[in-house]
Structure 1
Amino acid sequence: MAAGQVDELRKRVNDDWERIVELLKQKIALGSVSSKGIAADHMKRSAQFVADELIKVGVDAKVVQSTNPDGSAGAWEVIGSKIVNEQAPTVLLYAHHDVQPVPDASQWDTDPFVGTEIDGRLYGRGSADDGGGIAIHSGALQALGDDLPVNIKVFIEGEEEMGSPSFIPFIESHREEFDSDVIIVADSGNWSADIPSLTTSLRGNTTLDVTVSVLGHPVHSGQFGGPILDANTLAAMLISSLYDEHGDVIVPGVASQEVVGGLQRDLDEASVRADAAVEPTYTMAGTGSLAERLWTKPSITVIGMDVHPVEGSFNVIANQTRIRLSMRTAPGQKPQEAQQALAKYLVENAPFGAKVEVTPLDNGMGWAMDPDAEATQDALQAMKEAFGVDPVNKGEGGSIPFIPELQRIFPQAQVLVTGPEDPKANAHSPNESISLSGLRNNVIAEALLLSKLGGE
């Protein structure tokens, strides 16, 4: 896009800025906590507010209630469209209007449900996740106005923070409303408030329960300890065998892969250590870049273990223990394959012939963008023009299962994952906030992207 056009869009966003910020403040005030009931009246009010705001920027939006898999009433969803030319490309804009709860408001420096501006950031629950995504879509559509060169479809979800139980049935029953050439998921974030990013990949996830048995019943440790190891120790030995001496997962059949799109900038170890409150004496496990280890290499975590508490413990050899393992899988590996490989390894490598039984649980597929797609290149260029610096792509170590499901349902569509967050956003935590300068540039970037997708 010519410099003059970029400047014009920037001016339009600046002229609309007061409305965009006010929209976000009103959204924060709604307290759209889905854990209080996805079908409740407060979530319906939240959905209607979003629909009304989209109508103001030219979208034919409406509120529709989904149905849960068990047939019960589901979330209040917002869907809509703005068709400018039947021959033009179609872009689906996604965000979600529900927010995380606030368990303890005393941990906040401001009222979590009053949008409060401090030092260039707007504080409030849902300011970044994902009220910011809604504000980006609204601001971009308003900036383009009658110059919008693509058809728009919109889906603003009402249960993302609850795991999206009715997401897939809802999409599949509304395929025509969501069928598109490009899908923009505005629910991630940037490298920093000043450096934009496309999210290049998401790890998958698989979970399984493992029961380790050594005896038919507990026995006295003084009488039998030595040749008979307790089930807890055997489980610990089994867990430790999943890694080599460097801390890399070594389970045959569990895949690893390079950073999608190439590594442009590695993560800063000091920042990672500070963010996670890592003990000073601890050495980071694994090999390769920190980005690989956090974004595209597998990790296995013990998230639950049935053992006797220290309080009230006594001298017996535990006959059995159960652990729950959560494994983050490489973006491109089917989690079922990784789950089966891990289960096979656990059974075949039982220490001292202990009995190991595995119960497979949930799976969630990972996702990787196509770095060579035209839409990807358009997005990167739009970000550079809006922020004035080269974007730094980044992966995410967590999982967003609905994104690969969207790709499965609409295999022809290019999925782009953007978003309003930055490392200071504190999404899901006290003092959630959004950078207002970053939000402004995100709005401009999406407006530029929609123009480019329309061939302008």
Structure 2
Amino acid sequence: MTDELARRIDELMPRAKVDLAELVAIPSVADPRQYPPEKCREAAEWVAAAFTEAGLRDVHLEETPDGSHAVVGHRPPPPGAPTVLLYSHYDVQPPLDGPAWTSPPFELTERDGRWYGRGAADCKGNIVMHLTALRALGESVPVGLKLVVEGSEEQGTGGLEAYVPPHAGELHADALLICDTGNAAVGVPTATTSLRGVVYVVLAVEALKGDVHSGMFGGPAPDALAALIRILDSLRDADGGTRINGLDCEGSWSGVGYDEGTFRTDAGVLDGARLTGSGTVADRLWARPAVTVIGIDCPPVVGSVPAVPATARARISLRVPPGTDARAAQDALVAHLEAAAPWGVRVSVERESAGAPFKAETGGPAYAALDKAMQEVYGKPMSFLGQGGSIPLCNVLATTFPEAEIVLMGVEEPRCRIHAPNESVDPEEIRNMAHVEALFLRHFAASR
């Protein structure tokens, strides 16, 4: 039966490529300042039509509290069978640096055995994975299905997170397949079990009533930009590792590791540049807080004048591992920044969002069924992976459906370069993970 299922998926791969090409061609960037909002609706309608054709019922668009549209639908379970929710998102990141793309971002292009285009992996490739698995099963889907494909995940505006609790009865399922992650590497079957949370703050430094001439006042006059640099430098130790007073920065990771050489290649680290921090790469990525200065307001080089800056600002993100409370981490970051101010300069810290980390429970029948499916397809047992990124929806789902198993999986892997120019997907990952999903549905049904 598995061989027959694999044959069906092989036959469906040309259609999967056509599906992905059509979806990638729709610039569904959920930011009306950059792209027409009707493109997101066009993508949502494409998704609704495709899942209707794949056998789901009452597939339609639901407006969520942030104004985006989620595609929802269902398929009733056979008598006594469990229900599985399938999740993905159709909105994508903007292309960002257009000239850096080797091929047009909204045109699926095959090159060196991979399919390139914005959203090819994140997350339209996962939509196509779902469709391919369901088409391969045809009328023999052994479980009930719920479908949610959202339209504002990349913008982080929380539409679906707000939609879920009041619609819990419509979305309830025994297992939730959150398909917005992927394998540790091509050919390495993996479930993501840990997500770091993230908090943001904006630090402002004031040192003078206004900019003053550096020739007349430079030296004694406190420099706001220099003070900002000192404060930011205090967030790291000599090795570059995150060090924030009152925050545990020494966690360890027990799942699959991340080879340092592979990480350097995946991250594009320049020759001669050392990785920051200590411990294993996996420790630093998935088990410890990680601070990043993601923006600075200061005089630009072009057009700069010989003046001592009176003010400067920085926006700071802090990734938070499971086991650490996000709000407590934000409190520690704020206190550290305030205490690190040099020379009596004034500092103020604006608190922005705080998203909690997530850790999956892996001892239930859904994970056993997934491990069995992955071993049949890949010939090796499932590994557990952490992710540095955050998916706030997971905590909402865990709170709303405390008895459900939450599984994060998908077609994304490090070479996909999601969110970056030249995003791509390996079609073999679509093929294999569609096969895994179809087998998982069979094995999960048999476990009840």
Please say if residues 47 and 76 of structure 1, whose CA atoms lie closer than 8 Å, have aligned partners that are also in contact.
yes
Counterpart of 2:50?
Answer: 53
Matched, 1:264 2:261: no
Counterpart of 1:395?
Answer: 386
Counterpart of 2:60?
Answer: 63
Bigger CA drift: 431-440 or 24-33? Answer: 24-33
> 1:109, 1:321 → 2: CA distance?
37
Counterpart of 1:153?
Answer: 146
Please say if residues 51 and 61 of structure 1, whose CA atoms lie closer than 8 Å, have aligned partners that are also in contact.
no
Q: Secondary structure at the match of 2:194?
A: strand
Please say if residues 48 and 61 of structure 2, whose CA atoms lie closer than 8 Å, have aligned partners that are also in contact.
no
Counterpart of 1:137?
Answer: 130
Q: Secondary structure at the match of 2:353?
A: strand
Once the 2 structures are TM-superposed, how far is the Cα of residue 343 of structure 1 from its aligned partner? 1.0
Counterpart of 2:429?
Answer: 438
The code of the aligned residue for 1:23 comes to: D
Once the 2 structures are TM-superposed, how far is the Cα of residue 10 of structure 1 from its aligned partner? 1.8
Please say if residues 295 and 316 of structure 2, whose CA atoms lie closer than 8 Å, have aligned partners that are also in contact.
yes
Please say if residues 377 and 435 of structure 2, whose CA atoms lie closer than 8 Å, have aligned partners that are also in contact.
yes
Please say if residues 51 and 59 of structure 2, whose CA atoms lie closer than 8 Å, have aligned partners that are also in contact.
no
User: Aligned pairs, how many?
Assistant: 446
Structure 1's 108 and 225: CA in aligned 2 closer, same or farther, altered over 3 A? closer
> 1:297, 1:286 → 2: CA distance?
10
Structure 1's 12 and 211: CA in aligned 2 closer, same or farther, altered over 3 A? same
Counterpart of 1:23?
Answer: 19
> 1:364, 1:294 → 2: CA distance?
17
The code of the aligned residue for 1:127 comes to: A
Please say if residues 63 and 76 of structure 1, whose CA atoms lie closer than 8 Å, have aligned partners that are also in contact.
no
> 1:376, 1:259 → 2: CA distance?
23
Question: Aligned ranges for residues 445-456 of structure 1 at < 5 Å?
Answer: 445-456=436-447
> 2:375, 2:430 → 1: CA distance?
15
Note the alpha carbon deviations across 1:109-156, whole angstroms, 9 max, x for none: 444444344443333332222222112212222333344332110001
Which of 279, 304, 307 matches 2:295? 304
The code of the aligned residue for 1:381 comes to: K
Once the 2 structures are TM-superposed, how far is the Cα of residue 397 of structure 1 from its aligned partner? 1.4
Counterpart of 1:249?
Answer: 242
Bigger CA drift: 331-340 or 157-166? Answer: 157-166
Please say if residues 183 and 413 of structure 1, whose CA atoms lie closer than 8 Å, have aligned partners that are also in contact.
yes
The code of the aligned residue for 2:19 comes to: L
Give the RMSD, CA atoms, in angstroms.
2.8
Note the alpha carbon deviations across 1:426-456, whole angstroms, 9 max, x for none: 3333333221222111011111111222225
Please say if residues 257 and 330 of structure 1, whose CA atoms lie closer than 8 Å, have aligned partners that are also in contact.
no
Counterpart of 1:415?
Answer: 406
Structure 1's 381 and 322: CA in aligned 2 closer, same or farther, altered over 3 A? same
> 2:375, 2:366 → 1: CA distance?
14
Once the 2 structures are TM-superposed, how far is the Cα of residue 93 of structure 1 from its aligned partner? 0.3
TM-score, normalised by the number of residues in structure 2: 0.89
Please say if residues 128 and 427 of structure 1, whose CA atoms lie closer than 8 Å, have aligned partners that are also in contact.
yes
> 1:110, 1:315 → 2: CA distance?
43
Unpaired runs of 5+ residues, structure 2, are none
Structure 1's 234 and 40: CA in aligned 2 closer, same or farther, altered over 3 A? closer
> 2:205, 2:119 → 1: CA distance?
43
Q: Secondary structure at the match of 1:162?
A: coil
Matched, 1:120 2:113: yes
Q: Percent identity among equivalent residues?
A: 35
> 2:164, 2:421 → 1: CA distance?
32
Structure 1's 347 and 56: CA in aligned 2 closer, same or farther, altered over 3 A? same
Q: Secondary structure at the match of 2:2?
A: helix
The code of the aligned residue for 1:265 comes to: G
Please say if residues 259 and 395 of structure 1, whose CA atoms lie closer than 8 Å, have aligned partners that are also in contact.
no
Counterpart of 1:95?
Answer: 88
Matched, 1:42 2:34: no
Note the alpha carbon deviations across 1:140-178, whole angstroms, 9 max, x for none: 223333443321100011222322442222223322221
Counterpart of 1:171?
Answer: 164
Q: Secondary structure at the match of 1:454?
A: helix
Once the 2 structures are TM-superposed, how far is the Cα of residue 96 of structure 1 from its aligned partner? 1.3
Please say if residues 193 and 385 of structure 2, whose CA atoms lie closer than 8 Å, have aligned partners that are also in contact.
yes
Please say if residues 190 and 420 of structure 1, whose CA atoms lie closer than 8 Å, have aligned partners that are also in contact.
yes
Once the 2 structures are TM-superposed, how far is the Cα of residue 224 of structure 1 from its aligned partner? 5.8
Which of 301, 304, 309 matches 1:318? 309
Structure 1's 220 and 187: CA in aligned 2 closer, same or farther, altered over 3 A? same
Please say if residues 378 and 452 of structure 1, whose CA atoms lie closer than 8 Å, have aligned partners that are also in contact.
yes
> 2:297, 2:43 → 1: CA distance?
41
> 1:420, 1:21 → 2: CA distance?
14
Q: Secondary structure at the match of 2:338?
A: helix
The code of the aligned residue for 2:417 comes to: N
Matched, 1:287 2:278: yes
The code of the aligned residue for 2:2 comes to: V
> 2:250, 2:2 → 1: CA distance?
37
Unpaired runs of 5+ residues, structure 1, are none
Please say if residues 106 and 118 of structure 2, whose CA atoms lie closer than 8 Å, have aligned partners that are also in contact.
yes
Structure 1's 18 and 281: CA in aligned 2 closer, same or farther, altered over 3 A? closer
> 2:304, 2:187 → 1: CA distance?
54
Note the alpha carbon deviations across 1:85-118, whole angstroms, 9 max, x for none: 3643221100112233345666444444443444
TM-score, normalised by the number of residues in structure 1: 0.88
Once the 2 structures are TM-superposed, how far is the Cα of residue 403 of structure 1 from its aligned partner? 2.2
Bigger CA drift: 113-122 or 218-227? Answer: 218-227
Bigger CA drift: 282-291 or 425-434? Answer: 425-434
Note the alpha carbon deviations across 1:293-352, whole angstroms, 9 max, x for none: 122211212222232334555555434332221111123322211111111122233324
> 2:223, 2:39 → 1: CA distance?
52
Structure 1's 18 and 311: CA in aligned 2 closer, same or farther, altered over 3 A? closer
> 1:212, 1:107 → 2: CA distance?
35
Bigger CA drift: 8-17 or 311-320? Answer: 311-320
